[in-house]
Amino acid sequence: MAFDIPEMQGLKTGSTILFYVEVDDVDALYAQMKDEVEISQDIHTFYPDVREFQIRDLNGYFWTFKGKAC
């Protein structure tokens, strides 16, 4: 998991929960959230038709938001 989330390298964890949320307009959501939350992975194209970004919430959980690339 540390391969996908660099912040987890070297951490000792018991259980980990990752949240994946599919949204209609991921670019608009990113623009709305980017200055309000800790972005752990900037928005990028993943596969030819998927865009995604990842945040870390106040409790340390990672949330990935994804949507179709335009």
Over the stretch 18-56, which tens digit does the pLDDT of each residue have?
899 999 999 999 999 999 999 999 999 988 899 999 999
pLDDT over 70 (residue 59): yes
Q: Which of 51, 45, 47, 44 is nearest to 25 (CA)?
A: 51
Distance CA 23, CA 66 (A): 6
- Model pTM score: 0.77
Q: Considering the domain 16-68, what is its CATH architecture?
A: 2-Layer Sandwich (3.30)
pLDDT over 70 (residue 3): no
What local confidence, expressed as pLDDT, does residue 4 receive? 66
Residue that wins the pLDDT comparison between 58 and 63: 63
What local confidence, expressed as pLDDT, does residue 23 receive? 97
Domain range annotation of the chain? 16-68
